[in-house]
Structure 1
Amino acid sequence: MRRRPPIRPLAVLATIGMLALTGCGTDTGDPGDSADRTPSTGTGRTIHAHQVMRLTRVHEETGMTLLEGPTFNEDGDLFVVDVTAPAGKPKVLRVNVRKKTSRSVHTDGRGAYTSAQFSPYDGRLYLTDYAHGEIVSLAPDGSDPRTFFSGKVEGAQMNPDDIAFDQAGNLYVSDSRGLSEGKALGRVVRIDRDGVTATVLAGDLASTNGISFDADYRGLWFSELTQNRISYLRLDGEGGVASRHTAIRVDAGVAQTDSIAVDAHGNLYQALHGRPAMVVYDKYGERLATVEIPARAAAAGLESATNVAITPGGTTAYMTVSGPAGGYLYAFDALAEGIRQSNGG
């Protein structure tokens, strides 16, 4: 990615299938100094994130790298997707955060994967292919790719961005339709765990992006990229909606609301596209903290913090951060323990 005002990379994903191969490296170098901190803005305290490792470099053919969808497997390894990886290069990586090593577990010639999460129903890894409107699943080791869902939902093709699973394994997807047109065509879509029935739960949204269940599975938090707001969708327990309201308006300036995670205390971790930081709110909308990377790292070319996974049963959080300097993992101490709602999506 060249130095320029932040542009949501998803708007150019349709061109990825025409791009050729490029190299992608793993490095532990950090473009910043942990002692050089970016001051927080707004209310709440500042949480300082530290660099763990570099996973990717900018791909020559696509002009960018964008890490997303961090999610832990049962062995404690972290799976991460590179949204803009070209054909044949690692699109899903498996990271050993203790040893600071990574390896490719999946690639293909067309997918532009924006999120990853393991299903509680069948244990497979589910990926959203934004560019082709599909949801793909893999075996836990990255093999056996299958198309779980494709086609139109209530007459319109999806641009699936993030996923949240309920306890039974049904999928709740943020459909980011209208992103390139600048229209409020986004939706929240529910897909039964068999991949047959899909239902729109909410529509007329401004580029739906992050989505996560609350700590009690009573409702869904979802963000709208081009409105910088987080809404709450209370569910009726039968696959339908009981109510919906705007819950939080995010003061982010030129940055925009990306993915969402929720910890064991119900706190929301809202990632920011266009700023390498996250903001943390409690379930009542109080801003508790801002997660920052070192100022020198941001200045050296890290522009967005897209998502986070908190170690299940622990408080170490791993944040995906990307920009012209490459794709990195940063770690910080979360406010509460990780649960399924803070592990991918």
Structure 2
Amino acid sequence: MQRLSARSFSALATIGMLFLTGCGTQSGAPRGEAASDSGDKTIRAQKVMQLTQVHGETGMTLLEGPVFAEDGGLFVVDVTAPEGKPKVMRVDVERKTSRAVHTDGTGAYTSAQFSPYDGRLYLSDFAHGEVVSLAPGGGDVRTFFSGEVDGARMNPDDIAFDREGNLYISDSRGLSEGKAHGRVVRIGREGGGATVLAGDLAAPNGISFDADYRGLWFSELTENRISYLRLDGQGGVTSRHTAIRVDGGLAQTDSIAVDADGNLYQGLHGRAAMAVYGRHGERLATVELPSRAGGLESATNVAITPGGTKAYMTVSGPAGGYLYSFDALAEGTRQSNGG
């Protein structure tokens, strides 16, 4: 693969500036749970460990895509890691250690997911419009998909798998121009048959199946809304509607995870917090960092331990990239693990 071009690097820098705009707002409420001004409860997250520092080459760090492997290892990507620095890391959350799994000179990986079909780790490369996969422990890099979909290259952001291993991707095409050219794209598990399920979207970001795999939740970064696509079980769409409007203020909607009870965990860019909604749209909770946690501006994504309720949230800002943990409202499943 070629080295990162000046044009691609400039695009990545633009992405990074957008991702880290806004002010991190942390509550000064006591640790634990309390009522917030909007009536939902506050869940206080606790620091687990620091994973990265701001990179001198890119001027930032941005952690994303936490996902648990079958053996319990937590994989995390750093979107803006330069060549030679870990772009994919494996974290032992009990020992609070991490090690590099993958790096290269080109990728800007914004999500990670293990496929139920072949067990490989799939990464979306935002800057180059590709989806690549790695062996479960790293190595054996393969390009799963590259090229145009309906005449236009993707800017793939997040990934969701159905039970058969087909991919559903939030394509943030148009983000850098501020145009609603984004899409939700489905790609068959063998890498073919790419189809657009929804178009004219405002920088779609988070994407996750609901608890029963009947439909997809997806968020639009520049509209602060979450929509729902009802699926027909054959890869087609039967209906689409706006489900939740997120009152984010300066913050914007990022990745989405769904727990076993169908609750949505909506990451926020521009605020080190996460909004939690019920499947009928009610605001249930807000996950906040301790008031002493400074220099952190975005809580991008979360992985809830499969079969457990311990959640691990990726948080980034000028202070570096961190993992924070909190108790989720229900157990973790595939839909609350990566993406």
Q: Same fold (TM over 0.5)?
A: yes
Tell me the amino acid that sits aligned with residue 254 of structure 1.
L
1:1-345 alignment, distance < 5 Å: 14-15=8-9, 40-297=36-293, 300-345=294-339
SS in 1 for 2:196: strand
CA distance in 2, matches of 1:222, 1:343: 15
What amino acid is aligned across from residue 327 of structure 1 in structure 2?
G
Gap regions ≥5 residues in structure 2: 1-5, 14-25
Shift of 1:318: 0.1
Partner SS for 2:118: coil
Cα separation, 1, equivalents of 2:271 and 2:208: 21
Name the SS of the counterpart of 1:295 in structure 2: coil
Counterparts of 1:105 and 1:181 in 2: how far apart (Å)? Answer: 33
Mapped partners of 1:217, 1:309: distance in 2: 18
- 3-state SS in 1 of match to 2:189: coil
- Quick one: percent identity of the two aligned structures? 77
- Equivalents in 2 of 1:44, 1:302: separation in Å? 23
SS at match of 2:292: helix
| Counterparts of 1:179 and 1:76, CA distance in 2 | 35
1:169-210 CA distance string (max 9 Å, x none): 000000001111001000000000000110000000000000
Deviation at 1:42, TM superposition (A): 2.2
Query: SS state of the match for residue 87, structure 1?
Result: coil
**Superimposed CA distance per residue, residues 235-260 of structure 1 (whole angstroms, 9 cap, x where no aligned partner):** 01111000000000000100000000
Unpaired stretches in structure 1, ≥5 consecutive residues: 1-11, 20-31
Aligned partners of 1:17 and 1:110 also within 8 Å: no
The aligned residue for residue 3 of structure 1 is none
For 2:8 and 2:316, locate their aligned partners in 1 and report how far apart those are by CA, in whole Å. Answer: 20
The Cα shift of 1:33 comes to: 12
Distance 1:72 1:335, change over 3 A: same
Render the CA deviation track for 1:272-317: whole Å, top value 9, x for unaligned: 00000000000000000000001221xx210000000000000000
1:28 match:
none
State the match for 2:22 in structure 1.
none
- Tell me the distance in 2 between the aligned counterparts of 1:231 and 1:69: 20
Q: Please tell me the residue identity of whatever aligns with 1:330.
A: Y
Distance 2:136 2:330 in 1: 27
Q: How many Å apart are 1:14 and its aligned residue? A: 2.7
For residue 240 of structure 2, give the secondary structure of its aligned residue in structure 1.
strand
Q: Is the 8 A contact 1:34 1:50 kept in 2?
A: no
Report the 3-state secondary structure (helix = DSSP H, G, I; strand = E; otherwise coil) of the residue aligned with 1:341. helix
TM-score, normalised to structure 2's length? 0.91
Equivalent residue pairs, number: 320
Q: CA RMSD, aligned part only?
A: 2.0
Distance 1:87 1:158 in 2: 23
> How far apart in 2 are the matches of 1:55 and 1:268?
26
TM-score if structure 1 supplies the norm length?
Answer: 0.90
